[in-house]
Structure 1
Amino acid sequence: MLIDDLPVDRRLLMSLAHLGFTETTQIQAEAIPVAVAGKDLLASSKTGSGKTLAFLLPAMQRVLKTRALTKRDPRVLILTPTRELAKQVYSQLRLLVSNTSLKSTLVLGGENFNDQVKQLDKDPHFVVGTPGRIVDHLKKGLLHLHGLELLILDEADRMLDLGFAEQLKAVNEEANHRLRQTLLFSATLGHAEVNEFAAELLKAPVRIAIGAENQQHSEITQRFFLADNLNQKEKLLFHFVQKEATKQVIIFTATRKDTERLSAVLNEKGCSSLALHGDLTQTNRNQIMDAFSRGKEKVLVTTDIASRGLDLLNVSHVINFDIPKHTEEYIHRIGRTGRAGTAGDAISIIGPKDWDNFKKVESFVQQSITFDRIEGINPKFKGLKPVVPQSAKAGKFVKDDKKQAQQKKPKTKKSVNKTFHEAADVGFAPMRRKPRVETPNDE
């Protein structure tokens, strides 16, 4: 579908044309008409499918074409699981409101609370934020949602996985009125908690699922390498970063400590890199993402905090230094490359500790994976054999556990009563007197 065919205001179409948009993606073509019609929506699509625009355009259309319920309350609230994703959504929103009189603000944890209060006092039409900080303002009476018209939950499955269920319920209760419309986007509609939550928040929603949750980008080349230990993992990593033709690289690790350690090692090797994780202040996180998005740094070492939503067009390689524990995160991680139709390269390094998680990923993507090798790096590790239960092993000498137990069970002897209160002692023979025979008296 062409962008011009969307049922939205001409001013929005002009903004999109100015930004270079000419055709819709599948999720945009199916979700925007439903949302513009005022219906609740439960939708899923793969990462990098243009989902953000699929909810921003209906939100803009509603604010531009309908009368507000109240003068002061925000009309649209957009919630995301991470600060980085919230900033990404907000940056796209600002492009759309730039040629209008509409106001928007960003409310994130880790940033100055009083500055946010001042922005909320200006009665913005749009508020983009993270659940925790939004609820902080609600509890203090600094933000009211009684007149909220549109609630948008982006990456709802991730918000629930991160433990934001109570905050989302608090937002729902604050804005629970019959005129509110809700759009819920999730990476998968097979998430049990998402479906339970949707049943509570949404009213007769239209369900849209674009592609399977394990569907991958055809533009992304996936490669897998085995490693014996941490040292061999690092050798492979240095080869990819230093000797392959890369633009920008995102390296995903399992822990926050590993991001700092790997970043320091890369810097010692002369490869400038930054470490991003949740322990950093919001100011530091903003500075890191700004430097990386502007191309000032080539390598970003991060946890899954950067696995979703970030639209960085110059990322040519994604490297899984550790395989994610949650299999769906693999798809989101590799989706940080191959954006907007460009080719991308996703590399995964699998050591003995990664094997179980790797097998889950292999099952999740539903494909048989082969391993590549780098000349000069020859790992001995070939994978771990699955543990076979003892009772399942073949062989005529192996018997069922129950039968073995029965065979090994010792025979019980009948107990002998050795008491004598009812039996006679051995050798006891009672004497019997002969009957007396009476004879006649001889007197």
Structure 2
Amino acid sequence: MSFNSLGLSDALLKAVSKQGYTTPSPIQQKAIPLILEGKDVLASAQTGTGKTAGFTLPMLQLLSLGQPLRQRPVRALVLTPTRELAAQVYQNVKQYSTYLDIRSTVIFGGVNQNPQVATLRNGVDVLIATPGRLLDLHNQRLLSLANIEILVLDEADRMLDMGFLRDIKKIMAVMPAKRQNLLFSATFSKDIKALANDILNHPVLVEATPENTTVDAIDQQVYRVAKGLKPDLLVKLISDGNWEQILVFTRTKHGANKLTKKLISSSITAMAIHGNKSQGARTKALDGFKKGTVRVLVATDIAARGLDIPLLPHVINFELPNIPEDYVHRIGRTGRAGASGLAISLVSADETSFLRDIEKLIGERIPMEIVEGFEPDPNASTEPIKQGQGQGRNSRPQSRKSSAGNSQSSGSSNRNRNRRRN
């Protein structure tokens, strides 16, 4: 199947060709025709499956069918959970609208709002935004959502995990009731299905791949190791393997900073990316990583969500997530576009139950090794890490079982901080 068979306009096909794409991905094949028909869509798609083009291309086509209004009010809104994902979606919208009379912009927190407001005043058709900054500007009456025709919730599961449910509902309340709604999520949890039921109108369900499966092209490996020896083992693996472009996951922001310092002291270029970093620092780290000047990017789950890094060869779980689905999200950043990838997990005794839950989820045992000189501590407790010691989503396993908007959750203050940062 080619893009020509999906019903896209010549202008969009030309833009797609300019980006070097010839064959649509499964999610694009399924979603684009449905969206062009004006249907509400509930789509399950992991990062790296081409989902952004899956909603961007038909959205742009629908917007281009009518004459642009003189004032150019915002007609399409794409909500994302993180600044990085918002910026990446914006780049896609710009690329695919090259030959269309469509204006777009992106707004998010952590930067001066004045340039964003100036662009909005000049008129835009497509707005990509994080919920916090969007509500800030709306409350200041600096933008209107009264003319929204298409709403996209990208990575909706992460938005719920970050505590954006209340913000999403506020945003819904100031948009026209009649609009097309597109909800993209990596998983279909109970909370996601409840949100879809509130927002979508007779949606069509689209699944690109079976839920919670790992990519066949990814080689997975576990190294059992004493907790205190993890940093040195990581340095040894990177150095001995002469690896380049490694994405390393830690459970906490403090852990990310500490590990980054360790890597730098071992002559391995590294930068950390997490919610406490300024937007400038986050952008610099990501750019350096993509260009190869930064060898290792150390990230927390929330910061890394939605990062688009083509052909990423190595993902390392310095610490396992206590939510097994997060393991699937993490390692899914490698092994894309037909390329092979390697996902390594350094597992200490107190992560034994996390590993067991992950293997149960993916339906397979992950090969295990022990490196001489880095043996696990036979006397270490296998009791799970106490929750609440970390920061961010991985310190709140109960959040999946309770309402995503439950302000009584122990992680509510963390979610509020995440919301303000966006």
Rounded Cα–Cα distance in structure 1 between residues aligned with 2:21 and 2:198 = 35
Find 1:240's aligned residue among 237, 256, 259: 237
For the residues of structure 2 that align with 1:386 and 1:261, how far apart are their CA atoms? 24
Q: Any residues of structure 2 matched to 1:367-386 within 5 Å, and which?
A: 367-381=364-378
Matched, 1:289 2:289: no
Q: What are the residue-to-residue correspondences of 1:14-413 with 2, within 5 Å?
A: 14-67=14-67, 71-178=71-178, 180-189=179-188, 191-230=189-228, 232-381=229-378
Residue aligning to 1:410: none
Whole-angstrom distance in 2 between the partners of 1:384 and 1:345: 29
Residue type at the aligned position of 1:5: S
Note the C-alpha offset of 1:75: 1.2
Give yes or no for contact 2:155–2:185 (8 Å, CA) kept in 1.
yes
Instruction: Tell me by how many angstroms 1:380 deviates.
Output: 4.4
Q: Is contact 2:187-2:212 (8 Å) kept?
A: no
Task: Give the structure, 1 or 2, with the largest relative contact order (CA under 8 Å, sep 6 or more).
Answer: 2
Match of 2:410 in 1: none
- Structure 1 residues 113 and 386, CA, compared in 2 at 3 Å: closer, same or farther? closer
SS of match in other structure, 2:92: helix
Q: Give 1:313 shift.
A: 2.0
- Residues 236-282 of structure 1 show CA distances to partners (whole Å, capped at 9, x for unaligned) of 20122111142200110000001111111111110110011100111
Q: Deviations over 1:351-386 (max 9, x none)?
A: 122222222211111112331233443334499779
Contact preservation (8 Å) 1:153, 1:183: yes
Unpaired segments of 5 or more residues in structure 2? Answer: 385-422
Deviations 1:375-406 (A, max 9, x none): 4433344997799xxxxxxxxxxxxxxxxxxx
State how far apart, in whole Å, the 1-side matches of 2:231 and 2:159 are: 32
* Displacement of 1:69: 7.3
2:311 and 2:335 in contact (8 A); partners too:
no
Counterpart residue identity of residue 264, structure 1: K
Residue type of the alignment partner of 1:147 = N
Offset at 1:48? 1.7
Task: Name which of structure 1's ranges 128-137 and 46-55 shifts more when overlaid on structure 2.
Answer: 46-55
Give SS of 1:135's match.
helix
Partner SS, residue 212 of structure 1: coil
* 8 Å contact from structure 2 (residues 349, 377) kept in 1: no
The alignment covers a number of residue pairs equal to 384
Report the alpha carbon displacement of residue 332 of structure 1 after superposing the two structures with TM. Answer: 1.1
Distance in 1, Cα, partners of 2:255 & 2:382 = 28
CA distance in 2, matches of 1:278, 1:355: 28
Is the 8 Å Cα contact of residues 348 and 376 (structure 2) preserved in structure 1? no
Maintained 8 Å contact 2:110/2:279: yes
Q: CA deviation at 1:288?
A: 1.6
More deviation in 59-68 or 198-207?
A: 59-68
Asked which structure has the greater CA Rg, the reply is 1
Looking at structure 1, the residues matched to 337 and 287 of structure 2 have their Cα atoms a distance apart, in angstroms, of: 20
Q: Tell me the amino acid that sits aligned with residue 264 of structure 2.
A: N
CA distance in 2, matches of 1:229, 1:197: 39
Residue of structure 1 in register with 2:416 after alignment? none
Deviations 1:146-186 (A, max 9, x none): 111100000101101100011111111111322x1000001
Distance in structure 2 (CA, Å) of the matches to 1:344 and 1:105:
34
Tell whether the 8 Å contact from 1:70 to 1:147 is kept in structure 2 after alignment.
Answer: no
TM-score by length of 1: 0.83
Closer, same or farther: CA 307–333 of 1 in aligned 2, 3 Å = farther
Classify 1:383/1:68 alpha carbon distance in 2 versus 1 (closer, same or farther; 3 Å): farther
Q: CA deviation at 1:121?
A: 0.5
Query: Any idea what SS the aligned residue of 1:257 has?
Result: helix
| Alpha-carbon distance in 1 for matches of 2:378, 2:358 | 19
| Alignment partners' CA distance in 2, 1:135 and 1:109 | 11
- Aligned partners of 1:224, 1:383: CA distance in 2, in Å? 18
Whether the 8 Å contact between 1:247 and 1:314 is mirrored in structure 2 is no
1:391 maps to none
Provide the rounded CA distance (Å) in 1 between the counterparts of 2:256 and 2:13.
42
Q: Work out whether residues 46 and 213 of structure 1, in 8 Å CA contact, stay in contact via their aligned partners in 2.
A: no
Q: Which residue of 1 aligns with 2:406?
A: none
Aligned equivalent of 1:432: none
Contact map agreement 1:256 1:303 (CA 8 A) in 2: yes
> For 2:247, what is the secondary structure of its paired residue?
strand
Aligned AA for 1:243?
A: D
Amino acid at match of 1:164: F
The residue type equivalent to 2:217 in the other structure is E
Superposed displacement of residue 218, structure 1: 1.2
Q: CA separation of 1:381/1:81 partners in 2, compared to 1, >3 Å: closer, same or farther? A: farther
Any idea what SS the aligned residue of 2:375 has? coil
Which structure 1 residue ranges, 4+ long, deviate > 6 Å from structure 2?
382-387
The alpha carbon displacement at 1:308 in A equals 2.8
Task: State the shift of 1:14 in Å.
Answer: 0.9
| Identity between Structure 1 and Structure 2 (%) | 37
